[in-house]
Amino acid sequence: MTSGLQLALETLYGLERRRSDFRVEDTARLLDAMGRPQARFRSVHVAGTNGKGSVCALVERVLRAAGIRTGLFTSPHLVDYRERIRVAGRWLDEPELERRLAEIQSLESARGRTFFEVTTALGLDAFARHDVEWGVVEVGLGGRLDATNVLEPAVSAIVSVGLDHTEMLGRTHAEVAREKAGIAKPGTPLVAGQLPVAAERAARDVVESRGATWIRAADRVTLHDVRTDAAGATFVAEAAPWGRLPLALPLRGRHQVENARVALAVLAVLASGDAAGGLRLALPARAIADGFAAARWPGRLEPCPAEPRLWWDGAHNLEGIERLANAWRDDLGLPAPEAVVFAAARDKDAVAMLSVLRTLAPAAALFVARTANERALPPESLVEAAAEAGWADAIPRGDLATAVREALAGRARVLLAGSLFAVAEAMQACGGAPGAEA
């Protein structure tokens, strides 16, 4: 990375979490000063506690398989900041990124903006400058107050609702759901995945009060013959306008099949003319099959390419860890891991997550470590959480790489979970960092 880009990113990182009074209007004013780039392409907007990144990756890959020039905006990144903004599968060039960051941050309306607000503006600007036809945009946090909520999408989605970031979004499923439903726009369909009953009721009330159309993914897409293993999943989906679609998915776990259902329902809205303004996209069945088969979402329940004994998953809240454990136990067909490496942030329920992992691997050695992230729990706190969760002899290590190296010593299979930052550090230590597509 060039020294100029490194300096620009360090300045940008310094803006993270420096405010708590988020307002979409602040990002909108910045984008107004940049010529409203978000108005120069159509978009899909995706929220959710878990699974939203997978849904974005699937939708974008299908659109690209259909010959559409796409943009993909996701967060956080794992190893390289440029992962967040992709055009036709490619990262931005470093000189362009450095130049545009400097130009954006020189604007009067950029003063006081946060890391994510500037990053959102940079991403939407890149889509416009590179003639993107369709941008697929992942919500950063919540929805109602998220910087990405400047979009006027053709279709939006809420993939799931769980209890995460409760200090900002609320302490019940209904409260969190109302925040996520804040992305609803008048006249725009919103596709919902499998939500808790209270969450669905709360979200639907918000969506319909805003003049948007509520669509349950399960009402739009029926799944048959679902088979899962360590390589992914195969299934048959029935959805208009395609009819029966035999599909293969390289993403692992039955929860990813449910994410695929949401993605397919979003695509069905676009292909059937039900999107905002009656928009209809030509999405042949071949593009659905090819896009799903080619989709990749790194850091989610996969083996390290350079060290296949190490499996990692970015699950970082209770619902995510439960899905991981269920997938490992019921879908992958693998023996229980012989060791678990765990790290977590201070605002997560480490005891609950470790309790679930203990049911998955009761005989495993547990290594706990602190990631380099400033919000990470220290090893001594993780040892206390582990004891409360029933792990009697958790092994603390000062850094993630050391914990992974010791966990792998003499063992056939190791699982790392609890934090996307931990996955990122394991990728840097062991290989397997995501890259731009060729």
Domain boundary among 236, 259, 294: 294
The answer to the question of residue 310 being in a domain is yes
**Which CATH number characterizes residue 320's domain?**
3.90.190.20
User: Using CA atoms, how far apart are residues 139 and 113, in angstroms rounded to an integer?
Assistant: 17
Can you give the pLDDT at residue 16?
58
In this structure, what is the dihedral angle of CA atoms 203, 204, 205, 210, given to the nearest 10 degrees? 100
State whether 255 and 317 are in the same domain.
Answer: no
148 and 23 share one domain:
yes
Residue span of the structural domain in which 257 resides: 3-294
Q: Is residue 316 part of a domain?
A: yes
Question: Is 437 a member of any domain?
Answer: no
Name the region of 416 (left: φ>0; alpha: ψ -120 to 50; beta: rest): beta
Q: For residues 172 and 254, state if they share a domain.
A: yes
Q: 149-185, pLDDT tens digit by residue?
A: 999 999 999 999 986 565 666 679 899 999 999 999 9
Phi and psi torsions of 158, nearest 5°: -120, 110
Burial of 370 (0-12, 13-18, 19+ CB in 10 A): buried
Kindly report, residue by residue over 116-160, the tens digit of the pLDDT. 999 999 999 999 999 999 999 999 988 899 999 999 999 999 999
For position 248, which CATH number holds? 3.40.1190.10
Give yes or no: residues 131 and 87 share one domain: yes
Pair 278, 307 in one domain = no
- How many structural domains compose the chain? 2
For the chain, 438 residues long, give each residue's pLDDT as a single digit of tens.
Answer: 566 677 777 777 766 555 556 789 999 999 999 999 999 999 999 999 999 999 999 999 999 999 999 999 999 999 899 999 999 999 999 899 989 998 998 999 988 888 899 999 999 999 999 999 999 999 998 889 999 999 999 999 999 998 656 566 667 989 999 999 999 999 999 999 999 999 999 999 999 999 999 999 999 999 999 999 999 999 999 999 999 999 999 999 999 999 999 999 999 999 999 999 899 999 999 999 999 999 999 999 999 999 999 999 999 999 999 999 999 999 999 999 999 999 999 989 999 999 999 999 999 999 999 999 888 999 999 999 999 999 989 999 999 999 999 999 999 999 999 999 999 999 999 988 787 675
Residues with Cβ < 8 Å from 50, sequence gap 6 or more? 159, 160, 162, 255, 315, 317, 319, 320, 323
Please tell me whether residues 133 and 192 are part of one structural domain. yes
- Whether 284 and 318 share a structural domain: no
Distance CA 96, CA 113 (A): 21
- What pLDDT sits at residue 162? 82
The first and second tokens of residue 266, run together, are: 């979003």
Distance, in Å, from the CA atom of 197 to the CA atom of 203, rounded to the nearest integer, reads: 10
* 393: exposed, middle or buried (Cβ count in 10 Å: 0-12, 13-18, 19+): exposed
Tracing tokens 């970082």 back to the chain, one arrives at 316
- Considering the domain architecture, whether residues 15 and 123 belong to the same structural domain is answered as yes
Q: What is the pLDDT of residue 192?
A: 97
Residue 178 lies in a domain: yes
- 192 and 168: one domain? yes
Check whether residue 167 and residue 272 sit in a common domain.
yes
Give domain status of residue 73, yes or no: yes
- Tell me the two tokens of residue 252: 């692992």
Answer with the one of 259, 294, 329 that is the final residue of a domain. 294
- CA–CA distance, 136 with 40 (Å, rounded to integer): 14
Same domain? 72 vs 93: yes
Instruction: Please report whether residue 56 resides in a domain.
Output: yes
Residue 141 lies in a domain: yes
Q: Do 204 and 76 belong together in one domain?
A: yes
pLDDT of residue 362: 96
Report yes or no on 435 lying in a domain. no
